[in-house]
Amino acid sequence: MEQTKQQRVAELTDQLNRYRHEYYNLNAPSVTDEVYDSLFDELARLEQETGICMANSPTQTVGCSVVSELKKTPHPIPLLSLDKTKSISELYDFINGQLILLMLKLDGLTVKLTYEGGKLIEAATRGDGEVGEDITHNSRGISGIPQTIPYQNRLVVTGEAFIHPSDFDALKVSLLDSTGKPYKNGRNLAAGSVRLLDAAACKERRVCFQAFNVLEGFEQYPYKGQRLRCVEQLGFTLCKYLASQKPLKLEDVSAAVKHLQDFAAAQDIPIDGIVLTYNDVAYAKSCGRTGHHYKDGLALKFADDLYETTLCEIEWTPTRTGEIAPVAVFDPVEIDGCQVSRASLHNLSFIEGLELVPGNRIMVSKRNQIIPHIEENLDRGKFALDAVVPRQCPCCGQPTRIHQTEGGTRVVFCDNIGCDTRQLRKFVHFTGQKAMNIVGLSESALEKFIGKGWLHSYMDLYRLDQHRAEITQMEGLGEKSWQNIWDAIQHSRMTTFDRYLISMDIPMIGNTASRALCQQFQGSPEKFEAAVLSRFDFTQLPDIGPTMHANIYHWFRQEENWVLWSELRRFVHIMAYQPPAAGNSSKSTLFTGLTVVVTGKVEPYTREEINAKIESLGAHAGSSVSSRTDYLICGENAGSKLDKARQLGIKILSPNEFFRMAGESA
């Protein structure tokens, strides 16, 4: 009976607000004054009986307020996100025998509500998870937020502010965003609405709130589901969820996901996925967190979110290989809290495939929540090659050409090896941390030296002392800066075979391949040269496939590269090869002799550190997924390697599973 009264309070609040809108704003009341007054009296009586009064209740005489700015407010308990997957089987694996909640992933803006002594004292946005914005003034314009509750202890509830799709369709006709353009989707409109300075304007946006978690309060209950039922009795509308009562099978999870999807569609609720969290609060806390997300849950994303925007221009930039790389510049869109306005267009074939020209309406995503990507062109049929391809290199002004690779990909190319930008990129690579590691020699300094005509080949770096007097007089470069640069150049003279090989910039020969070649030829440039001359089959080595094999021979077929390989040796010393420390690899492990590849971030390790860990277990740390890969360690923000591993049926390990198999705790 008590539950019915609470539901009636929320129902009457929304009903009476609708009648008020019809009367005052539309001049078209649908009920008589007598009916309105009767319902108003019923609501006032129920509010007194239950102790629940919604923030937007018509019984409250307090008007809508206006603030001059949104003040920052910290979150003592960080409002972090959850890790994501697109696979129901991964969602099922995550359960790990625990009781769980499966809940709608509402498509809006996360809001935190704080109550003290039964009164709402603060409403705040999620912000960056650590600090949000105070939107308490707008709480009266958002449906579903109680202003007073019959619970006197501290209560902190999180939920989602969103707009029903049908309401968005009605609102988008007349509302414009901060740039003067129509809102692209209900999520953006909801996010913009709750952050308005004028609460009256927020009230017109039909924003709703549904609770999905209790951060503080009702600590006597050990399960999240119990705490949610408690706040439901305080007048909150809950985000739809299902709670497991026993261990689930994969088909149970699939059926539950389908049920929740159907519910959202029938109830006109915007969602972009399903959230799984552990129901046991103590167990959930024991899972810990990363800097990005809590580990007690996993979000099933239906697809990468798409955002409509307009392509403004295509920028072309020469690379160190001579290929001119295209980048899309478009009207900014907000994705996952970040403003995105640029995305790689990869090559000419990609542009032609989408028929892209400036002015097109395009759909943009953030693939795997990391990389901005153009997914679709909504204005096909207007493509013209001359409208997008530059006739001259944007750096040196020399004519460009369209080149087709062996794989059939069309690219725009600058053949001028003296092109300043192309030269700069090559020197940036050569001096980089993974190559010759000339610390302190910045890109801006290299650009100045190239502009002065002092750097034509890598060997010229080791003759820079000829220009010392001029360098120390250059803006931003004094005697101390020069000495630091020269010391770093001298230090780079002592190097290793793998660094030397990386510095040559042979296409695709990076850390992993150079390390494999270093081990194969004991760090000897002479043995490597002999292998090249004898047509050694490099594909027999781990991580070197036919393309890398061909790249090595193609590079050495060019006379200027042989000269570089030999001449630079006069300026540097390649140190004697030091085999990797045996470490644990002297003992047999579950990974001994296997190839293990990593994708994504495995905290707290850098990529080099986790690869070193893999090597210490007697395994080979691969750089790419192939049929020879035995395991893929899938960390946070996994990339395309995960998709390829699934296609090949390769065993995928979470970081925790890897560490357990290695005999360590995560």
Q: Which domains does the chain have, with CATH numbers?
A: 51-301 (3.30.470.30), 307-414 (2.40.50.140), 420-495 (1.10.150.20), 497-574 (1.10.150.20), 595-662 (3.40.50.10190)
Phi/psi region, residue 320 (left: phi>0; alpha: psi -120 to 50; beta: rest), is alpha
Consult the annotation and say whether 160 binds a ligand: yes
The sign of the dihedral angle between the CA atoms of 562, 565, 568, 570 is: negative
pLDDT at 3 > cutoff 60: no
pLDDT at 261 > cutoff 60: yes
Averaged confidence pLDDT in the chain: 86
pLDDT digits (tens, 9 = 90+) for 340-375: 899 989 899 999 999 999 999 999 987 755 678 898
Q: Widest CA span of the chain, in angstroms? A: 100
Band (pLDDT 50/70/90 cuts) for residue 583 is very low
Least confident of 49-53, 166-170, 492-496: 49-53
Asked whether the beta carbons of 349 and 365 are under 8 A apart, the reply is no
pLDDT at 94 > cutoff 50: yes
User: For residues 201 and 194, what is the distance between their CA atoms, to the nearest angstrom?
Assistant: 10
Predicted confidence at residue 1, as pLDDT, reads 41
pLDDT digits (tens, 9 = 90+) for 593-603: 788 889 887 87
User: For residues 407 and 106, what is the distance between their CA atoms, to the nearest angstrom?
Assistant: 43
Token pair 């994969």 in the structure block, residue:
250
Band (pLDDT 50/70/90 cuts) for residue 336 is low
Asked whether the beta carbons of 651 and 628 are under 8 A apart, the reply is no
Active site residue 105: yes
Query: How much is the average pLDDT of 38-44?
Result: 84
- 646: how many CB neighbours lie within 10 A of its CB? 15
pLDDT digits (tens, 9 = 90+) for 265-309: 999 999 989 999 999 999 999 888 776 678 899 999 887 678 889
Torsion of CA 356, 357, 359, 364, to 10 degrees: 30
Consult the annotation and say whether 419 binds a ligand: yes
SS3 content of the chain, % helix, strand, coil (to 5): 40, 25, 40
Q: Which of 368, 324, 361, 360 is nearest to 344 (CA)?
A: 324
Asked whether the beta carbons of 412 and 386 are under 8 A apart, the reply is no
Predicted confidence at residue 584, as pLDDT, reads 43
The sign of the dihedral angle between the CA atoms of 65, 68, 69, 75 is: negative
Least confident of 231-245, 379-393, 640-654: 640-654
H helices then E strands: how many in the chain? 23, 27
Band (pLDDT 50/70/90 cuts) for residue 399 is very high
pLDDT digits (tens, 9 = 90+) for 599-615: 887 876 777 778 878 88
User: For residues 639 and 23, what is the distance between their CA atoms, to the nearest angstrom?
Assistant: 54
Predicted confidence at residue 111, as pLDDT, reads 96
Asked whether the beta carbons of 607 and 623 are under 8 A apart, the reply is no
Consult the annotation and say whether 287 binds a ligand: no
Consult the annotation and say whether 541 binds a ligand: no
Catalytic residue among 105, 224, 601, 641: 105
Consult the annotation and say whether 126 binds a ligand: yes
User: For residues 60 and 56, what is the distance between their CA atoms, to the nearest angstrom?
Assistant: 8
User: For residues 258 and 267, what is the distance between their CA atoms, to the nearest angstrom?
Assistant: 14
Beta strand pairing status for 307-318 and 323-335? antiparallel
**Residue type at 407 in one-letter notation:** G
Token pair 């239950």 in the structure block, residue:
50
Predicted confidence at residue 211, as pLDDT, reads 97
Predicted confidence at residue 488, as pLDDT, reads 92
Asked whether the beta carbons of 235 and 52 are under 8 A apart, the reply is yes
Consult the annotation and say whether 414 binds a ligand: yes
What one-character DSSP code corresponds to residue 101?
E
Consult the annotation and say whether 82 binds a ligand: yes
pLDDT at 585 > cutoff 60: no
Consult the annotation and say whether 630 binds a ligand: no
Query: How much is the average pLDDT of 164-168?
Result: 92
pTM: 0.54
DSSP bridge partners of 280 = 223
User: For residues 423 and 320, what is the distance between their CA atoms, to the nearest angstrom?
Assistant: 6
DSSP bridge partners of 412 = 324, 402
Asked whether the beta carbons of 342 and 328 are under 8 A apart, the reply is yes
pLDDT digits (tens, 9 = 90+) for 410-425: 999 988 877 888 888 8
pLDDT at 169 > cutoff 70: yes
Band (pLDDT 50/70/90 cuts) for residue 337 is low
Q: How many residues does the chain have?
A: 666
